[in-house]
Amino acid sequence: MSLDVYRSQFQDKIGFKPYPGTLNLEISVSNAREIFNFHDKIGTIKGKGQFGEVKFIPAILNQKFEGAIIFPIKSQHPIEILEFVAPQNLRETLKLNDGDMLNITIDEKNPY
C-alpha cells in the first residue's frame, strides 16, 4: 500500500491514504467466505504494470478505526488471513501483540 498508484486511489475512493503496511488478521475460513457475500460493497483499486488490482471493502476495526479489508489479486496469503488498511499504524496505535482479538465490522454506510 506504499505505492502511489494505490495510495492516491484509496484517497479518492474511501477518503484516506493508507499507512504503508497492512494489519494481518486471522479469521475462520467460514467467516472469510461470508465476507464475499458483501460483493455489492466490494470496490476496486486498479493496478499498474506488474502491480495487480486490489479489491476492498470499507470496514471499521474495534468500532473506532475506519479502514478497509483488502484483497490483493496477487496475494500470497491464504483465505483465512485478512489484510486491513487504515491511515495509521494500528499495531502501534493499539499496542497489539500476535493473537490479540479484534472486531471488524463491514462499513455498509461507506459507498466508496
In a domain, 111, yes or no: no
What single-letter DSSP state applies at residue 97? -
CATH at residue 28: 2.40.30.30
Specify the pTM.
0.85
In a domain, 112, yes or no: no
Question: Could you tell me the three cell numbers for 90?
Answer: 494500528
Q: What domain count does the chain have?
A: 1
pLDDT band of residue 60 (cuts 50, 70, 90) is very high
Q: What is the largest CA-CA distance in the chain?
A: 37
Structural domain including 61 reads 4-106
Q: What phi, psi does 70 have (nearest 5°)?
A: -115, 150
List pLDDT tens digits, range 1-56: 566 778 888 888 888 989 988 999 999 888 888 887 776 778 888 887 777 888 89
In a domain, 19, yes or no: yes
Instruction: For the chain, give percent helix, strand, coil, nearest 5.
Output: 25, 30, 45
